[in-house]
Chains A and B, each alone.
Chain A
Amino acid sequence: MIFMTFTKFEKARIIGARALQIAMGAPVIIDVPSNLIDPVDIAMLEFENNVIPITIKRAESS
């Protein structure tokens, strides 16, 4: 599987969207250490493990 390379804006947007879900009570996808409680940190951990079920749709280049 080819991993997509994200720009800093795309990375921020994905982590932000996921962190919002976690903050509102969504179940986390991977095992999270018990001392990790900030939703943004959890989202970042998920992002690094490439498990967030969100991707981006880029505008078609003309």
Chain B
Amino acid sequence: MTSLLWKDTKTHVSELKKRVPCDYAVDFDLKDVAAEDGYITTDKKSVQYYVRIAEISKFKESESLILKKKTGLKSIIRVLEVMDIDPLPISEFRKGKHKLSEVETFDTGDRILIKLEEKPSYLETLDQKVKDVVADAKKVGFDIPLSVAEKVSKHKKEMKPAVYKKFLERIMAELARNGIDPHEAVGIIAAQSIGEPGTQMTMRTFHFAGVREMNVTLGLPRLIEIVDARRIPSTPSMTIYLKPEFEKEQDIVLNVVKKLENTTVIDVADIITDVGEMTLSIVPDMPKMNDRLVENSDIMDALEKVKGISVISDEKDNRITVKPTQESFKKLYQVQEQLKVLTIKGIPGIKRAIARIDNLTEAWTVYTQGSNLREVLELDEVDASKTYTNDIIEVASVLGIEAAKNAIFLESQRTLAEQGLEVDQRHLMLVADMMTFGGSVRAVGRTGISGRKSSVLARAAFEITTKHLLRAGYLGEVDPLTGVAENIIVGQPITLGTGAVNLVYKGLKK
């Protein structure tokens, strides 16, 4: 439902409040507007009052009117009620496809309402046929994995009931046979299963196919980066998907690219210092400007925000002359340094953005060098549910630890898959789980999982032996000998596999 938004003064609002219901004459044309409610802003940026509107009509002279302005009145709003509300930012309103940013005099917009719904459990969303298979399996006596149930449901018709039952029993047996027994050393198996293919990985960095200046760390270096949980990956990058209504429109996509790329003056122009005149000349480099979709006016807009300079634009010569208001070499130098890194547009951290079209679906996707998930998700056109970054720490801070766990899993799986290596996903899941179960992303290694084992002897066996032993000595640490390394050190069987079994005599059968 569309609401009317307008800017007004506090005195008008308080008068309206006193005299509701009343007629309010305004100076803007509301011929085509049909709204039943409205919002009033006093500062253009957020709305503070909610108004219920009975009807909107053309302006007609009458005595009981409250006038917004003395002249130029065009419409009458019949106001039923005015209420104070907690200030809402204007950006919560949407006009057509775009969010509103400012209300100058009046505007119409739809309030963006986010519906909170509980997601139905995965089982509920499944086909009835699949649910039947799950129920049948329950009768046989086991919980069938849903992926298997889906496959079985497709072939259920081809089988006679007796065969079908036998088939389910066979699945149960296979599942039992494939389960991991308690006390299996899954960590060691995972380590070996990832480590062996790891020896076949490349040590090189590859270039992003067909795109210059863009490369992505792959192979072994990337895998090491993932398990080390580096704060900033060596080549952060994002894959940005747009909302379905925008993804096929080239103009909007290019506009998004323009909004994304962080461009500074030095990226698109040369800065020439004239010491005699005490001026700086910004000479735009047209090929670079076109490449980055920057226009002269963009540079002018950016320069407007800089204090302590006067700007003269020379259209003929295609150069912009900047003169510090205070004449000194020090100031001149400072301004020059300031201009070099002046952001014309873009999101901090995004160095490069490139849009590519999928030939099949004709949908555009934006790839970036550099990552800033939080601010990219804020963009109106971006589909926040699909957009992806390879910066795991950033995922953890923006989306939470469960998302980071999935990111570790997906990134490591992708890294291995790109090299043509197949590692069972459960090994990678184990690694992802181990790195995140503590609530924060922890590295595998000295500073992470291995360095924080509870047992002193295990830590001492891993790295920096004397430091750990000395520290444990003066703190009086107790080692319960529950892990593997400590039991090997003291010469006991380890608590894994057959070593974890306690035998007891049960007596002979009578």
Contact = CB atoms under 8 A, between A and B. Distances in A.
Interface residues of A, number: 18
A57 B504 contact: yes
A16 to B, nearest CB: 7
Give the contact-size bracket for chain B. 10 to 19
Interface in A1-54: 7-10, 12-14, 16-17, 29, 51, 53-54
A17 B493 CA distance: 15
A13 B503 CA distance: 8
B183 A14 contact: no
A17 B499 CA distance: 12
B502 A57 contact: yes
Contact of A10 (B501, B505, B509): B501
Interface string B491-510: 00000011011111111110
A57 B182 CA distance: 14
A17 B506 contact: no
Contacts of B505: 53-54
Contacts of B182: 7, 9
Contacts of A8: 181
Classify the secondary structure of A's interface with B: mixed
Nearest to B508: A53
Given A29-B508, A53-B508, A9 B503 contact: no
Contacts of B183: 7, 9
Given A7-B182, A12-B498, A17 B503 contact: yes
A9 B72 CA distance: 92
B507 A13 contact: no
A56 B509 contact: no
A13 B498 contact: yes
B504 A16 contact: no
A58 B506 CA distance: 14
Given A7-B181, A7-B182, A7-B183, A53 B507 contact: yes
A37 B509 CA distance: 24
Interface string B158-183: 00000000000000000000000111
Interface string B422-433: 000000000000
Given A7-B182, A9-B181, A54 B506 contact: yes
Given A7-B181, A7-B182, A56 B508 contact: no
A56 B507 CA distance: 12
A54 B509 contact: no
B28 to A, nearest CB: 71
Interface in B350-370: none
Nearest to B502: A57
A7 B184 CA distance: 10
A55 B509 CA distance: 13
A11 to B, nearest CB: 9
Contacts of A51: 509
A20 to B, nearest CB: 11
A31 to B, nearest CB: 15
A-B residue pairs, 9 tightest by C-beta: A7-B181, A13-B501, A55-B506, A13-B498, A57-B502, A9-B498, A57-B504, A9-B497, A53-B508
18 contacts: A8-B181, A9-B184, A9-B501, A13-B498, A13-B503, A14-B501, A29-B508, A53-B506, A53-B507, A54-B503, A54-B504, A54-B505, A54-B506, A55-B504, A56-B502, A56-B503, A57-B502, A57-B504
Interface of A: 7-10, 12-14, 16-17, 29, 51, 53-59
Interface of B: 181-184, 497-498, 500-509
